[in-house]
Amino acid sequence: MNTVYFSAQFDSSASDPYRCPESVAEVAFAGRSNAGKSSAINTVTRNGKLARTSKTPGRTQLINHFSLGNERFLVDLPGYGYAQVSKDRQKQWQAAMTRYLVSRASLRGLILVMDIRHPLTDSDWKLIELQQQGQTELHILLTKSDKLSRNQVAKSLASVQDALSAADIDATIQDFSSLKKQGIDDAHAILDSWLFDVPLT
């Protein structure tokens, strides 16, 4: 377990990728509103107040950078797929995400957070399509696994993996529970690989 993530601190917010801080390497978290993205970030960093969580989906409206030191960052991207967001806002989000995911040179990987009970929505596929236009790695984090039995979790993991393979999408995948603090080591291993070039075992 790499304890560097426990020292994560808020650095800055930006509405446009071109206003983000200079970085050597960073990993972005994205997810449909209410998928548990902010909770996952807080669990991985052991800081319950780092990423803002809310009972109101779509709370994250900006690109938020959290510093790990030495110009390495975790990044919280705006939530997507929430019905109450206007069409204009959705277009702005898509344009900003396209610029960020395709053009951000220091972006090493995208962790796509999905509710394990409702994975691979149309909104998720749209984000995967954007991610595929860039050069970054993709890791799927299936949250709220405590809501399902072990057998159901295994079936969901296999189903998502099959769907990605059928679409010729190369990605790693894991289950995760912020409530039960499960899957943290696996998430840290991915972050270690992308941010610090630690080989995956």
CATH number, domain at 72? 3.40.50.300
Q: How many domains does the chain have?
A: 1
- Predicted confidence (pLDDT) per residue in 41-76, tens digit: 999 999 999 987 655 555 557 899 999 999 999 999
pTM exceeds 0.95:
no
| Mean per-residue pLDDT, 185-196 | 97
Beta strands in the chain (DSSP E): 9-14, 25-31, 63-69, 72-76, 107-115, 137-143, 172-175
Token representation of residue 140: 């799927």
> Is residue 201 domain-resident?
no
Phi-psi region of 85 (alpha: psi -120 to 50; beta: other; left: phi over 0): beta
- Predicted confidence (pLDDT) per residue in 76-134, tens digit: 998 776 556 677 877 887 888 889 999 999 999 999 999 999 999 998 999 999 999 99
Q: Inform me whether the pLDDT recorded for 154 exceeds 70.
A: yes
Which residues partner with 141 through β-bridges? 113, 174
- Predicted confidence (pLDDT) per residue in 136-152, tens digit: 999 999 999 999 999 99
* Rounded Cα distance, 23 and 45, in Å: 19
> Is residue 67 domain-resident?
yes
> Is residue 65 domain-resident?
yes
Residue found by looking up tokens 């790499």 in the block: 2
**Cα 169 to Cα 18, 23, 138, 144, 192, distances in angstroms:** 28, 27, 9, 23, 22
Residue 178's domain comprises 3-196
> Is residue 189 domain-resident?
yes
pLDDT at 91: 80
Residue 4 half-sphere exposure, CB side, CA atoms within 13 Å?
16
> Is residue 37 domain-resident?
yes
